[in-house]
Structure 1
Amino acid sequence: MDTPTETCCQHHLEHNPTARVKALLPQDEDLLDLADLFKLFSDGTRVKILYALLESELCVCDLAEVLNMTQSAISHQLRTLRSGKMVKFRRGGSTIYYSLADDHIFRILEQGMTHVKE
């Protein structure tokens, strides 16, 4: 059985949607930056860390206990999240506390979970 191939053989006489869509597309650099942002969500450990930080500002030791992981594994993922501007930190004496970088991260997680639960 032959598999149909998709071709566009109908010309749009009254309007040209491709021209409108092309004009509305963000710049390639912005799209690549967005793809990089979503890559940060592609690791389950990073998502767990972000969800833990939704609830409270935590240090590496706290995150390791909450997620039942080693401090080394948590630190590695936090470096990635910090470089992606998804978490921020503050120093409290000799301890570093982590939190979500901004409300955008909260909303992305919230929307993603809503989508998953539907």
Structure 2
Amino acid sequence: MENVKNYDEAEELSEHSVLAGRARKNMPAEETVVQMCTAFKAIGEPSRMKILLALMEGEMCVYHIAEAVEGNQSNVSHQLRILKDARIIRSRREGKNILYSIADEHIASIVLMSKAHVHCGE
């Protein structure tokens, strides 16, 4: 009976070793991991998340974003700069206005999935 237990433990350890090797092989470069963390750090602040949720409705100028998130333009502009530097949002000029939008579908998916995750257990 003891041999069976040791065999099962050895098999499990071998299986875990294979998984660890696969995880190590598929681990992105350190620079990529740092960039991933930077993106999550930029998203992971309530006022910036509110801005992203507002931008899920579509492209907006800072004035309308501030209205949507019930913030002031100065603070919203500061947060927009952080999001833009992290490539979470993008901007384009239209006449005198600068319009902001979600950078790409990946960011939109992260926002939607995080919202769904929070409501998952309700």
* TM over 0.5, shorter chain: yes
Tell me, which stretches of 5 or more residues in structure 1 are unaligned? 1-9
Q: Which has the larger radius of gyration?
A: 2
| Runs of 4+ residues deviating >2 angstroms | 10-21
Over the matched positions of the two proteins, sequence identity in percent amounts to 37
Q: Secondary structure at the match of 2:44?
A: coil
The one of 23, 29, 46 equivalent to 1:21 is 23
Alignment TM-score, normalising by the size of structure 2: 0.81
In 1: Cα distance, 2:80 partner to 2:16 partner: 49
Given that residues 43 and 83 in structure 2 are in contact (C-alpha distance below 8 angstroms), is that contact kept between their aligned partners in structure 1?
Answer: no
**Aligned positions, number:** 109
Tell me, which stretches of 5 or more residues in structure 2 are unaligned? 1-8
Q: Aligned pair 1:69/2:90, yes or no?
A: no
In 1: Cα distance, 2:50 partner to 2:100 partner: 14
Alignment TM-score, normalising by the size of structure 1: 0.84
Pairs within 5 Å for 1:38-49? 38-49=40-51
* Shift in Å, 1:59: 0.6
**Greater fraction of residues in helix:** 2
* Shift in Å, 1:107: 0.6
Q: Aligned pair 1:88/2:69, yes or no?
A: no
- C-alpha change, 1:54 and 1:16, in structure 2 (3 Å) is same
